[in-house]
A and B are shown apart, each in its own frame.
Chain A
């Protein structure tokens, strides 16, 4: 199990626990505001954009080229941006903090 904290754009902190599946799915299943996951997790809609806390970037790893291409043209993206449909939950992510990005 991994405990993951989502900080919404209203600065509300939501702590969720997950064992498998994507972080996007965990957030959508629990109604985290600002994470819609419209495309179901195939990296097409960018409605699951988060900023990984800088100290946790090593845990989540780097974005793939396709993901980076999507983020490159997002006005709210920065070096900590990820589409969280592309992050699989593992025990190693325990303690992860994610800031939900503003929507386009």
Chain B
């Protein structure tokens, strides 16, 4: 059961001190590790702000590769609410039955593709395709567009190493510029066109604002969704009895989705910039320094979750922060939950078991902590039901 395990590297520091330290490009981060503290800091946007220099609240920092402010992500109240209210109905579209039907067709098609192969590299041949194709639904653009995104590979922001790569990021930013110009020429029913006709506080959105919303849509839901999907497959490979439970008890699936999100915590942490000298966990943090809300640690906090290191498929009370917390909670969560829900439903319907052939873990280096977040590659064989 070791191949699909995601251990909790934060436990000792969380219990003993409540925080950890990480250097990141000479802009150090105090990592907040306990669930209650994470929630409190996430809620306190005045002291722990998101509206800092664009890219600075991301860990690792993106200040050197991006000038565009991601919206609503890097805007705080009261302006945050205006942007969020504008985009929220669009990002709730995954609740519509016709959206779910299309997503089901996409996911079942991918499963049918891989089921006949002897060996499938899950990230390239399954998760990246699934994520890219599903994004066409979220943007409401033609399916074929996903082929371009698939051709970019998994790392749009990183080269082969883990370092941030400005040239690679520019591929995405240039692409988005072009798509906005295209939508100006040829308006349709897509997200670009919706934003082009929208106003916030009586003013039309600028090109830069639209770009900021679209970058967020692309960047926020790429590695995270790929990790969630890949980790789910690895887990079900080692737990055929769980696949059977989901097959026999479809009512359990929505709880299983939340539990997978808690356990996998596809986004390890998100930063904030401190606006005044203050304290967290009786530890002084200085104005203009950074903290991070460590979702992955908070989601294993034993003072809230019983048996935190076990996946309990039907965990009834599960106040996890896998999608963040408070004002800035994940805008794409509705889409992500539908992907996970339909993925588990479709796998339970079509797959009997999965064999892991070979794998290489993706370990994030967080200085004092090393955290497995997923896989660089994992080859499996799907056996049909």
Contacts and interface: CB of A to CB of B under 8 A. Distances in A.
Given A69-B36, A73-B39, A43 B327 contact: no
A66 B317 CA distance: 8
Contact of A38 (B36, B255, B334): B334
B382 to A, nearest CB: 27
A66 B258 contact: no
B40 A42 contact: no
B155 interface: no
B257 interface: yes
Contact of B258 (A42, A69, A70): A42
A40 B319 contact: no
Interface string B329-349: 100011001000000000000
Contacts of B325: 73
Interface residues of A, number: 15
A62 to B, nearest CB: 15
B304 interface: yes
Contacts of B318: 39, 42-44
Contacts of B304: 66
Interface in B36-52: 36, 39-40, 43
A61 B317 CA distance: 18
A50 to B, nearest CB: 18
A48 B76 CA distance: 24
B255 A40 contact: yes
A34 to B, nearest CB: 12
Interface residues of B, number: 27
A31 to B, nearest CB: 10
Contacts of A43: 317-319
B21 to A, nearest CB: 25
A77 to B, nearest CB: 11
B50 to A, nearest CB: 15
Interface in B76-97: 92, 95
B326 interface: yes
A42 B316 contact: yes
A76 to B, nearest CB: 12
B319 A44 contact: yes
B323 interface: yes
Of listed B92, B257, B258, B322, residue having the most chain A CB within 10 A = B258
Contacts of B217: none
Contacts of B95: 36
Interface of A: 36, 38-45, 64, 66, 69-70, 73, 104
Nearest 9 A/B pairs, CB to CB: A40-B254, A42-B318, A73-B43, A43-B319, A42-B258, A44-B319, A43-B317, A44-B320, A66-B319
Interface of B: 36, 39-40, 43, 92, 95, 254-255, 257-258, 304, 315-323, 325-327, 329, 333-334, 337
7 contacts: A36-B95, A40-B258, A42-B255, A42-B316, A43-B317, A44-B322, A104-B327
